[in-house]
Structure 1
Amino acid sequence: MQRYFITAEQFGDSDIRLLGEDAHHALRVMRTKPGDKFIVSDGQARTALVAVREAAAEGITADIIEMLPMDSEPNWSVTIAQSLPKGDKMELVIQKGTEIGAYAFVPFESERMIVQYDGKKEAKRLERWSKIAKEAAEQSHRSRIPSIQALHSWRELMKSVDTYDLALFCYEREGDAAHGKGVRTAVREWALQSGAIDSPSILLIVGSEGGFTEREASEAEAAGAVLVGLGKRILRTETAGIVGLTCLLYESGEMGGA
């Protein structure tokens, strides 16, 4: 069933209003008419099944049939910190990461970042990324839309590490079984040391196409991040965060893990 995210102001006591692009999509793409049903959520505390009462170009009014539980979010809040990749790779990370269950995304600058960052395009880029996250959250029936932060410098990212319960730094050298540790080992060691945390916040740090330098790995470790590998194979930058996120949610039991 089609799902839309609306603002708290569009959510009434007994009905809702669907406006703007969402109303256009419902009318022109979904061919919505009076009597049709869909789901709406304010992304915070309310999700409801509604039935269309009036469908017009200026907006759709729908009556609330029943309130629904907001139970589609993972217990572990995983933020993907992604060194800004070239082309549209960040869009793929956001789209697939949202579908899987990422809590938030933090693009950042690193030494081997290939793309040339243009600050003048940041607002437009964030708007595009936010739209992708919203559409992916609707498609995957999320209860909230992941937040996407403005581009961080390396220093800003390192300062944020200790605000999370656990920070994992994906470093290809750690994929070597001779000396590295994987996500499962890191998470289970952390769980033993920290005790039971029902809803931990986790930062997953992923490098650009060129990977991380040894200096960056040392600084991340000094800031409190745990260096981890994602297997013996070298993953593309747009693949690493998706794999790491999936591993974490599996460990949390979200996907049938122990």
Structure 2
Amino acid sequence: MQRYFVPSGQIGESSLTLLGEDARHLATVMRARPGDEFVACDGSGYELLAVAESIEPGRIEARIVERRLSQAEMAWQITVAQSLPKGDKLETVIQKGTEAGAFAFRPFLSQRTIVQYDERKEAKRLERWRKIAKEAAEQAHRGIVPDVASVCTWKTLIGSLGEYDLTLLCYEEEGRRGAGLKPALADFRNGFAGGRAPRLLLLVGPEGGFAPQEAEQAKAAGAVPVGLGRRILRTETAALVALACIAYESGELGG
């Protein structure tokens, strides 16, 4: 069933309004007619089963017939902090990371970042990244759209580690030493006593990886360095492998 993320201002107690591109998609592409059902997500984790009642160009009025909590979210909230990669690789990370269950994305600049960051183009790129996250969330039947933050510096990112219950530094040197992700997650799971979803931050470096001093700075700030196996992964692959491993270790896949 087709689903759309609808701003809270367009949702009432018993009805909702679909506007703009989403309304045009449902009416034109999906050829919806009055009486057809679709799912609207309010972005807070709830799904609304709705029935279209009136369809006009760019506007659909619908009646809400059921409200339910989304079952598609991970038990752990994983924020992917990705150093800006070349080309459209970050788009891949956001799209596939959203499908894999990431809660949020934080692009950042690090010492070995290759791409030339242009602050004047940030607003346009950020808008595109957020659109990709929205479309991927709809496709994956997510209950929320992962937030994509503005690009920040390494210093700013390191200063925010206290906001998370666990920060994992994906560092190839740890993989060579055999320090894997599994024991770090097991230790965290056994020691976490909070009555809420754990908040994790995943630090992923650029094409050239983290500089040694950056790894030391991250560890000094509380990050736990982990490897993702004995192979060297591309920067756009690392977060996806880590998300899959975390999903398994958190019990989502029956592990």
Specify the TM-score bucket, using the shorter chain as the normaliser: over 0.9
Aligned to 2:78: 78
Q: What does 1:1-258 align with in structure 2 at a 5 Å threshold?
A: 1-44=1-44, 46-176=46-176, 179-195=177-193, 198-257=196-255
Is this contact kept in 1: 2:45–2:144, CA < 8 A? no
Q: Displacement of 1:46 after TM fit?
A: 3.7
What do residues 169-189 of structure 1 show as CA deviations (whole Å, max 9, x unaligned)? 00011111xx34111111112
Query: How far apart are the structure 2 equivalents of 1:95 and 1:181?
Result: 28
* 1:18 alignment partner, SS class: strand
Q: Displacement of 1:45 after TM fit?
A: 5.4
Is this contact kept in 1: 2:178–2:230, CA < 8 A? no
**Which residue identity does 1:33 align to in structure 2?**
R
> Unmatched 5+ residue regions in structure 1?
none
What do residues 112-162 of structure 1 show as CA deviations (whole Å, max 9, x unaligned)? 111000000111111000000001111111111100111110100100112
Is this contact kept in 1: 2:178–2:229, CA < 8 A? no
**Which residue identity does 2:67 align to in structure 1?**
M
Q: Displacement of 1:191 after TM fit?
A: 3.1
Is this contact kept in 2: 1:84–1:113, CA < 8 A? yes
Query: How far apart are the structure 2 equivalents of 1:122 and 1:8?
Result: 26
> Unmatched 5+ residue regions in structure 2?
none
Is this contact kept in 2: 1:75–1:198, CA < 8 A? no
Is this contact kept in 2: 1:36–1:52, CA < 8 A? yes
Q: 1:76 to 1:218 in 2, by over 3 A?
A: same
**Which residue identity does 1:78 align to in structure 2?**
I
Q: 1:180 to 1:217 in 2, by over 3 A?
A: farther
**Which residue identity does 1:153 align to in structure 2?**
T
Is this contact kept in 2: 1:98–1:146, CA < 8 A? yes
Query: How far apart are the structure 2 equivalents of 1:160 and 1:109?
Result: 15
**Which residue identity does 1:150 align to in structure 2?**
S
TM-score (norm 1): 0.95
Query: How far apart are the structure 1 equivalents of 2:236 and 2:57?
Result: 39
The answer to which of 187-196 and 81-90 deviates more is: 187-196
RMSD of the alignment, in Å? 1.3
**Which residue identity does 1:163 align to in structure 2?**
E
